[in-house]
C-alpha cells in the first residue's frame, strides 16, 4: 500500500499522468463528436445512457488497444481499413440526419448508436493510444489510470456537443467533416501507404525516428493535409448526394 502511495504521489508519476490525461482529452474531441452524433436521435431519457455507454466503449477499447499495441501498430492495411470505416460512418451519419432517423424504435436506436460508437472508436482509438504509449513509456498502470480518469471529461464533451446538435443541425455536417479529416489523415499514415510513397514518391514522406508504431516514416505536410482535405470533401460531397437521393426515394414512397 505504501509503495502504491509513493508511486502515485511521485512527481514523475503525476507529471506523466497529467500528460496522459491531456493527450487523451485533446485526442478525444473526435470521439466526443462521434458519441454525440450517434446519440443525437435518441429520446432524451435514453440519450444520457447512450453517451455513458459510448464513453465506456471508448475507454475500454483504448485500454484493450494499449495492451495489444505492439501487435496492432505494425499490421499492414489496418489504418487503410480504419479510414474506409470512418468514411462510411461519416457519410452514414449525415444521410441519417437528412432522413430523420425516425423509423427506428427507441430501443433499436440505442443499440445502433452504441454500435456506431464502437466501430468509430475502434478505428480512432489507435492513434490516441499510440500517443499515450509514448508518454507512459511502458507503465501499464499509469496509462490505464490516465485513461479511466478521462471518462468524466469525455462525457461532458459529448453532452455539450449533443446539446449543440439539437439547436444547430449543421453541427452534424461539421462533425462528419471532422471524421472525414481524420480518415484522410489515417489513410496516408498506414505503413503500407508510407512505404509505397517512400519507394515511388519519396518527396512526400519524411524520416520519423521516434515513431511509436515503429515504421520510421511520416507523411510530409503536403500529403498529410492534402489527404485530410480530400477526406473532408469526399464525405461532404458523397453525403450530400446520397442524402438527396435518399430524400427523393422517401418522397416517391410517400
64 vs 227: which has the higher pLDDT: 227
- Gap between the Cα atoms of 97 and 173, Å rounded: 9
Q: Are 205 and 197 in contact (CB under 8 A)?
A: yes
Note the helical H segments in 100-190: 106-136, 140-149, 151-167, 170-187
Q: Which residues contact 107 (CB under 8 A, 6 or more apart)?
A: none
Q: Are 113 and 165 in contact (CB under 8 A)?
A: no
pLDDT in tens, 24-59: 665 566 667 777 778 877 888 888 888 888 878 877
- Gap between the Cα atoms of 207 and 220, Å rounded: 9
Domains of the chain by residue range: 2-253
Please state the pTM of the whole predicted model.
Answer: 0.67
- Gap between the Cα atoms of 170 and 100, Å rounded: 13
Q: List the Cα angle 47/49/165 in 5-degree steps.
A: 25
Percent of the chain with pLDDT over 70: 73
103 pLDDT more than 60: no
12 vs 91: which has the higher pLDDT: 91
128 pLDDT more than 90: no
- Gap between the Cα atoms of 121 and 82, Å rounded: 10
Joined together, the cell numbers standing for residue 232 give 473532408
Q: Are 192 and 76 in contact (CB under 8 A)?
A: yes
Q: Which residues contact 197 (CB under 8 A, 6 or more apart)?
A: 188, 204, 205, 219, 223
pLDDT in tens, 179-195: 889 889 989 988 899 99
What is the overall mean pLDDT for the chain?
77
Q: Which residues contact 148 (CB under 8 A, 6 or more apart)?
A: 59
- Gap between the Cα atoms of 211 and 120, Å rounded: 23
pLDDT at 250: 57
105 pLDDT more than 50: no
Residue 206: band (very low, low, confident or very high) from pLDDT cuts 50, 70, 90: very high
- Gap between the Cα atoms of 254 and 241, Å rounded: 20
107 pLDDT more than 70: no
Q: Are 217 and 204 in contact (CB under 8 A)?
A: no
Joined together, the cell numbers standing for residue 39 give 446519440
Joined together, the cell numbers standing for residue 209 give 525516428
219 vs 41: which has the higher pLDDT: 219
Amino acid at each position: 500500500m505504501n509503495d502504491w502511495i509513493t508511486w502515485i504521489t511521485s512527481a514523475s508519476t503525476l507529471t506523466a499522468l497529467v500528460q496522459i490525461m491531456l493527450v487523451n482529452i485533446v485526442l478525444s474531441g473526435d470521439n466526443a463528436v462521434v458519441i454525440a452524433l450517434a446519440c443525437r436521435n435518441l429520446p432524451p431519457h435514453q440519450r444520457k445512457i447512450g453517451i455513458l455507454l459510448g464513453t465506456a466503449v471508448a475507454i475500454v477499447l483504448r485500454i484493450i488497444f494499449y495492451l495489444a499495441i505492439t501487435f496492432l501498430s505494425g499490421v499492414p492495411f489496418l489504418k487503410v481499413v480504419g479510414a474506409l470505416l470512418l468514411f462510411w460512418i461519416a457519410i452514414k451519419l449525415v444521410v441519417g440526419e437528412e432522413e430523420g432517423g425516425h423509423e427506428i424504435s427507441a430501443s433499436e436506436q440505442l443499440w445502433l448508436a452504441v454500435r456506431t460508437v464502437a466501430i468509430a472508436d475502434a478505428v480512432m482509438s489507435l492513434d490516441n493510444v499510440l500517443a499515450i504509449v509514448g508518454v507512459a513509456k511502458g507503465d501499464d498502470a499509469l496509462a490505464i489510470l490516465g485513461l479511466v480518469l478521462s471518462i468524466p471529461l469525455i462525457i461532458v464533451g459529448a453532452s455539450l456537443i449533443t446539446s449543440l446538435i439539437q439547436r444547430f443541425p449543421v453541427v452534424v455536417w461539421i462533425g462528419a467533416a471532422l471524421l472525414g479529416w481524420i480518415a484522410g489523415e489515417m489513410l496516408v499514415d498506414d505503413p503500407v501507404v508510407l512505404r509505397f510513397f517512400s519507394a515511388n514518391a519519396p518527396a512526400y514522406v519524411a524520416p520519423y525516428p521516434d515513431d511509436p508504431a515503429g515504421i520510421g516514416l511520416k507523411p510530409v505536410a503536403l500529403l498529410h493535409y492534402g489527404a485530410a482535405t480530400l477526406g473532408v470533401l469526399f464525405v461532404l460531397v458523397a453525403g450530400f448526394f446520397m442524402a438527396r437521393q435518399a430524400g427523393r426515394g422517401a418522397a416517391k414512397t410517400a
